[in-house]
Amino acid sequence: MADRRPERLAALRERLAAEGLGAMVVAHAANVRYLTGFSGSSALLLVAESAAVLLTDSRYETQAAEEVGDLARVQIAPAALIDALLALLPESGAREPIGFEAHVLTVREASCLTEGARPGRFRPAGELVERLRVVKAPEEIAALRDAAGVAGAALARAVADIRVGLSELEVAALLEAALRREGSVAHPFPTIVASGPRAALPHARTSARRVGAGEWLLLDFGAEVGGYCADVTRTYVVGAPPDPRQREVYAVVLGAQAAALAGMRAGMTGKAADALARDPIEAAGYGAAFGHSLGHGLGLEVHEAPRVSKASDEALPAGAVVTVEPGVYLPGWGGVRIEDDVVLGDTGAALFTMIPRELVVLG
C-alpha cells in the first residue's frame, strides 16, 4: 500500500504558505492520524516547513514509534501537551505565525497559545487538514469499501435472529456482536435501534423497549476497518406484514433514495444532490417530515466533509465518499430511513453498501 503521509504533509505545507502561516499545530485526532498514521487518543502535531514533531504521553511511547516511524520526531511529554509544545518551539524551527485548530482545542488550550505568547505568534488556521481529507486516495476508497462490506455481512448475520419481543438493547447486542465477528475494530458511533413510534426519532438512543408485532425497526450502525468508517441504516417491519401506510411511506423514501443514487455525481453542489431526494419526498406530501440533510462525508470519521445538504453551495469533488440517507419521520407513528455509502465520480455514484433495500419483514 502506498504511503501517502509525505505527500499529505507536503500538501498541508503548501496550504500553510498560501495562508501566510509558517507552521501549524494539529490537534484533531483524525487529522493527526491522516498526516502521521498515529492512532492514539492523545497527541499534538507541530508541522513546520522542514520538520514535524509529534507530542504524546507515555501511554503511547511504543505505539507512536511504531506507527509514525521516521516521518516525524516523536516526543513524550512529561506534562500537559500544550506546555510541552510551548517548551519545544524555540528549537523546533517553526516560523511564525503558527496556525492552530481553533475548532478543536479547548478554550483553556487556545488561551495558552494566544494569551501567553507574543501577539500574533499564534493564529486560528481553520479546517485546513479536513479539506485535504475530502478527496480519498485509492487505498482509502478500498478501506471504506471494506468497511461497508463488513457492515453488510454483520447486518445479514444479525437480522436472522431478530424477532418480536426482543428489546432494542438486545437487538443492538446482536448487531454489535456480529460487527465484531465480521471484523469491525470499533463502533464509530453508538448503534441506533429504534422500534415502533420511536423510529420517528432520527437519532434515537437505544432503549429497553421491546419490539411489537407489525412495528417498525430502524437500525443505524457503523463499522470500522483500517481506521475508515461505514455508516448504514435499514428499516424493517417485524413479525407481521406491513400495512398500507407503512408500504406507502417506505416506497416514498426508497424512491427518493433511488433518484439520488441515480443522479448524484461529482461536480454538482451539495444542495443540488440533496434536492434529488428532497423533491420527490416533498411531492409526496412528506417534505416537512424530512428534516435532516441527505448525507455527509465518510472517512476516518463517520461525519466529515463534504456536506450533502440543502444549505451547501460547495461542489462535491470526485473521490469524495458520502452517505445517501433520506428519511421520513412521523411523530407518534414511526419513521423510515434508508442509508447507503457511495464514492462520487464524474459519471455518477458507485455504491459501497451492497445490502437489499426493499421492505423486508423480520422474524
One domain, residues 14 and 32: yes
Q: What would the mean pLDDT of 121-134 be, rounded to a whole number? A: 95
Residue 106: the pLDDT is 87
Residues with Cβ within 8 Å of residue 308, at least 6 apart in sequence: 270, 273, 274, 293, 294, 295, 296, 316, 322, 323, 324
Residue 115: the pLDDT is 78
One domain, residues 146 and 126: no
In the chain, alpha helices (H): 5-18, 29-36, 61-68, 81-88, 107-114, 128-133, 138-159, 168-182, 244-263, 270-283
| Residue keyed to cell 509525505 | 6
Mean pLDDT of the chain: 96
Q: What would the mean pLDDT of 145-154 be, rounded to a whole number? A: 98
DSSP annotation of 141 reads H
How many percent of the chain have pLDDT more than 90?
91
Distance CA 29, CA 31 (A): 5
Q: At what angle do helices 244-263 and 270-283 cross, to 10 degrees?
A: 150
Last residue of a domain, one of 100, 133, 166: 133
One domain, residues 102 and 194: no
Residue 240 has pLDDT above 80, yes or no: yes
Residue 210 has pLDDT above 90, yes or no: yes
Residue 119 has pLDDT above 80, yes or no: no
Q: What would the mean pLDDT of 97-119 be, rounded to a whole number? A: 85
One domain, residues 165 and 116: no
Last residue of a domain, one of 116, 133, 150: 133
Q: What is the identity of the amino acid at 66?
A: E
| Domain containing residue 119: CATH number | 3.40.350.10
One domain, residues 212 and 354: yes
Query: Can you say how many angstroms the Cα of residue 337 is from the centroid of all Cα atoms in its chain?
Result: 17
One domain, residues 262 and 128: no
Residue 117 has pLDDT above 70, yes or no: no
**Parent domain of 127:** 5-133
One domain, residues 124 and 173: no
The arrangement of strands across the sheet holding 348-351 comes to 304-308, 295-297, 321-324, 340-345, 348-351
Residue 114: the pLDDT is 82
Distance CA 15, CA 137 (A): 19
Q: What would the mean pLDDT of 161-174 be, rounded to a whole number? A: 98
Q: How many domains, in total, are found in the chain?
A: 2
Distance CA 231, CA 234 (A): 11
Residue 208 has pLDDT above 70, yes or no: yes
In our burial notation (b when 16+ CB lie closer than 10 A, e otherwise), range 120-131 reads: eebbebebbbbe
Residue 361: the pLDDT is 98
Q: What would the mean pLDDT of 51-63 be, rounded to a whole number? A: 96
Q: pTM for the complete prediction? A: 0.94
Residue 113's pLDDT band (cuts 50, 70, 90): confident
Residue 107's pLDDT band (cuts 50, 70, 90): confident
Last residue of a domain, one of 70, 102, 133: 133
One domain, residues 142 and 119: no
Residue 118 has pLDDT above 80, yes or no: no
| Residue keyed to cell 435499514 | 234
One domain, residues 76 and 152: no
Q: What would the mean pLDDT of 114-137 be, rounded to a whole number? A: 88
Is the bond leading into 202 cis (omega within 30 degrees of zero)? Answer: no
Query: Can you say how many angstroms the Cα of residue 204 is from the centroid of all Cα atoms in its chain?
Result: 18
Write out pLDDT tens, residues 250-298: 999 999 999 999 999 999 999 999 999 999 999 999 999 999 999 999 9
DSSP line for 26-41: E--HHHHHHHH----S
One domain, residues 86 and 178: no
One domain, residues 115 and 219: no
Write out pLDDT tens, residues 321-358: 999 999 999 999 999 999 999 999 999 999 999 999 99
One domain, residues 18 and 127: yes
Write out pLDDT tens, residues 7-55: 999 999 999 999 999 999 999 999 999 999 999 999 999 999 989 999 9
Residue 108: the pLDDT is 86
| Domain containing residue 357: CATH number | 3.90.230.10
Residue 116's pLDDT band (cuts 50, 70, 90): low
